[in-house]
Amino acid sequence: MTYPLWLIPAIPLAGFLVNGLVALAAGWQRASARTAAWREAHPDAGHGDNALRHGDDHGHDDHGPALPYWQRLFHGVVGVGSTGLSGVLAFGVLVPYVRESLASKDGLPAVVETAYHWMSAGPYVLDIAFRLDPLSALMLSFVTFVGTLIHLYSIGYMQNEEGFGRFFSHMNLFMFSMLTLVMANSLPVLFIGWEGVGLCSYLLIGYYYDKDFAVAAGKKAFIANRVGDFGMVLGIFGIFSLFGTVDFSFVDMARQQAVNGGAPLSVYAVCLLLFLGACGKSAQVPLYVWLPDAMAGPTPVSALIHAATMVTAGVYLVARCSAVFVLAPGALTVVAWVGAGTAIFAASIGLAQNDIKKVLAYSTVSQLGYMFLACGVGAFGAGMFHVFTHAFFKACLFLGSGSVIMAMHHEQDMRAMGGLKPKIPQTYWTMMIATVAIAGIPPLAGFFSKDQILGAAFGAGHPALFAVGLVTAGMTAFYMFRLARMTFFGTFRGSEEAESHVHESPATMTVPLWVLAIGSLGLGFLGIPEVLGGHNTLIEFLAPSLAVSHPHEVSNATEYLLMGMSVLVAVAGIALALRWYGAPGATSEVPSVQADAFYRKTGFLGPVVANKWNVDEGIEALVLSPFRKIGNVLWRGFDALLIDGVINASAFMVELTGDLTRFFTTGNVRNYVLTMTLGVLAFTLYVWIR
């Protein structure tokens, strides 16, 4: 059976081109029209149109005039249509594949479709090929599904933006890159998608390019990712030198090697390098700093790129290379501890954030940590399961927060919210479902995936990791319900004018919310563990793609105990949140940082956590500032003196030579001819005499 796999990323690419070109042309026309209008209004103005560009300070909600209806319609139809079409196609491929795969005993072999002969070096040939196997099938399913929903949501959310077309073209480009990433059959092609999503992330974080903080956030994301990509590229080179190939056949080779036993030390290095790349993309300690700042982009971007899809690419990479990681158990331990550390660290910061999107951002970092924790203890399937469920409830949460933000007219501070429940009921209900899901309350999706991770950690003989995970679960429940309390319950704490404007979002936004909420509600049932009478279908399905992990069987009793503990901790976190934030003061003024319940009641931890453990300041002091000093020295001492000196000296020599010899240039052609003749004569004589 052949699948038109290349079409799946190609359709969003076409959408990107169409949307981009139309947006470009329309934007150009609009800009020139505006310039003409401005010139008419300011006939005595000089040439500088700086005033035009920077004079009016657009607010978030006033970012240029909204596009005319038909243009929005066009961009929306192309954007959603291309993504949706790609999704329909993807599911058309997926459904039969999954059905057959589940029906067969050992699963289907991977389907590889070569689209283009890319390059060949000596005997080695590298194709642009796409792959369909259980792992990419899983990624494909939620990337296209969630992606389409978020595109749909964006039509409503972005309707008042002048950059509507630009936004959709970049979103489509992102879809193309992400699909390339997940369907790639080789690391270089995966890397194309990897860099593509990085680029789109940068472009979309910096969507409000006239805002300094957005530009800075974009650059931060880009640079932090470069650190990771450095490791990633070296990792790819390492894979090539280890296995002699960079397409995913090396996974099978690694699996074979695992049977034979023994792995050289270099495998550890390669694994750690690849993990460095994964850390950058998936915002793990210490490269997580960019993700919270990335919330500067529009909320659908945060939902799609910085919660559901792109940031899970690191987990995907580790899972994809799981066979290699298994060869290096020490590297896996590093992965596990980095994941666990990130999980608890980010969760702790999330406890005290007041910006609704920041809370969700730290939550995302924390959940990604969970996923790496799972991979680190060998439970790659559980990790991917969490990737899958997380995509739904976190996208739902982000979109819900977007709906809240829109209702609040771009107010993101939760301290200015409160009591929104009756005003935006649909947002409330969907968000609550997702909140319960992420908190790990059975039988919602988050419970199953999180529980499997915790169980695997315990079963793999890492009680410490299990403990960290458990505490993190409690913290997650706490900050999520803190968010819910501060946003939806109590009384409204913003101005009365703001209160009067609160409104429910349009259907293009609520429908995706509901779909995602239902997903958060029910998708956990794809992976009911056997102890609860299920078949763990999803993990079974994924098994052929992943390394043979050794599911350290724990007794049923232990398993029940673990589940009980995790639910208990979650309930405890919820209870604490409800208690502390149960009756927020009914003041109409925005409380200070110090007034926050968490801040007041946790002693010395409060200020530190509220200041995000001073990580940004630490990086500034320990990394950036020394680099700046070194740069200064190099600039003043090396570049300005030595390099410029050499260049200036050589230029001076040339000038001197020119000064001395310029008198040969008499301007008389006949002199030149004579000189030439005599020169030829001399040369001929030399040749003749020699």
Least gap, CB of 662 to other proteins (angstroms): 4
604 or 663: CB nearest other proteins: 663
Minimum Å gap between C-beta 670 and other proteins is 6
Give helix 463-488 / helix 356-376 axis angle, nearest 10°.
160
Q: How far is CA 465 from the centre of its chain?
A: 25
Least distance from other proteins to the Cβ atom of residue 676, Å: 9
Give the torsion sign (CA, 586, 592, 598, 599).
Answer: negative
Burial of 683 (0-12, 13-18, 19+ CB in 10 A): exposed
CB-nearer residue toward other proteins: 604 or 688 = 688
Q: How many CB atoms lie within 10 A of CB 687?
A: 8
Closer residue to other proteins in complex, CB, 259/669? 669
Q: Residue 625 or 677: which CB sits closer to other proteins?
A: 677
Q: Where are the alpha helices (DSSP H) in 620-668?
A: 625-633, 644-661
Supply the minimum distance, in Å, between the C-beta of residue 656 and other proteins.
14
The dihedral region occupied by 456, where left means phi > 0, alpha psi between -120 and 50, and beta the remainder, is alpha
- The nearer residue to other proteins, 33 or 681, going by C-beta atoms, is 681
In angstroms, the first-to-last Cα distance of the chain is 77
Quote the CA–CA distance of 264 and 114 in Å, as a whole number.
Answer: 32
C-alpha distance from residue 503 to each of 41, 356, 405 (Å): 37, 18, 10
Which parts of 158-247 fold into alpha helices (H)? 164-183, 187-205, 212-243
102 versus 678: smaller Cβ distance to other proteins: 678
DSSP 286: T
One-letter amino acid identity for 458? F
Least gap, CB of 673 to other proteins (angstroms)? 5
Smallest separation (angstroms) from other proteins to the CB of 653: 18
| 157 contacts 298 by C-beta, under 8 angstroms | yes
Task: Using the minimum distance from each CB to other proteins, give the nearer residue, 120 or 671.
Answer: 671
Residues that bind other proteins (CB under 8 A): 662-663, 665-671, 673-674, 677-678, 680-681, 684-685, 688
Angstrom distance (rounded) from CA 278 to CA 313: 7
CB of 230 to other proteins, least distance (A): 44
Q: 557 vs 687, which CB is nearer to other proteins?
A: 687
Alpha-carbon distance of 346 to 348, in angstroms, equals: 5
Q: How far is the CB of 689 from other proteins (least distance, A)?
A: 10
Task: Decide: helix, strand or coil at residue 111.
Answer: strand
Q: Which is nearer to other proteins, 632 or 666 (CB)?
A: 666
Residue 174 beta carbon to other proteins: minimum distance, rounded to whole angstroms: 44
In angstroms, give the least distance from the CB of 661 to other proteins.
Answer: 10
Nearest approach, Cβ of residue 684 and other proteins (Å): 5
Measured CA to CA in angstroms, residue 17 lies from 12, 51, 84, 169 at distances of 9, 32, 16, 7
d(CA 555, CA 567): 19
- Shortest reach from residue 665's CB to other proteins, in Å: 5
CB count within 10 Å of CB 419 equals 18
In the bound state with other proteins, the residue whose beta carbon lies nearer, of 119 and 673, is 673
Q: Nearest CA to 379 among 181, 183, 186, 553?
A: 553
Nearer to other proteins, 29 or 677 (CB): 677
Nearer to other proteins, 633 or 678 (CB): 678
State how far the Cα of 179 lies from the Cα of 194, in Å rounded to an integer: 10
- Degrees (nearest 5) of the Cα angle 606, 612, 618? 125
Beta strands in 100-169 (DSSP E): 111-121, 124-132
Nearer Cβ to other proteins (47/670):
670
CB of 212 to other proteins, least distance (A): 47
Question: Which of 88, 268, 274 is CA-nearest to residue 194?
Answer: 274
Cα–Cα distance for residue pair 317/323, rounded to 1 Å: 11
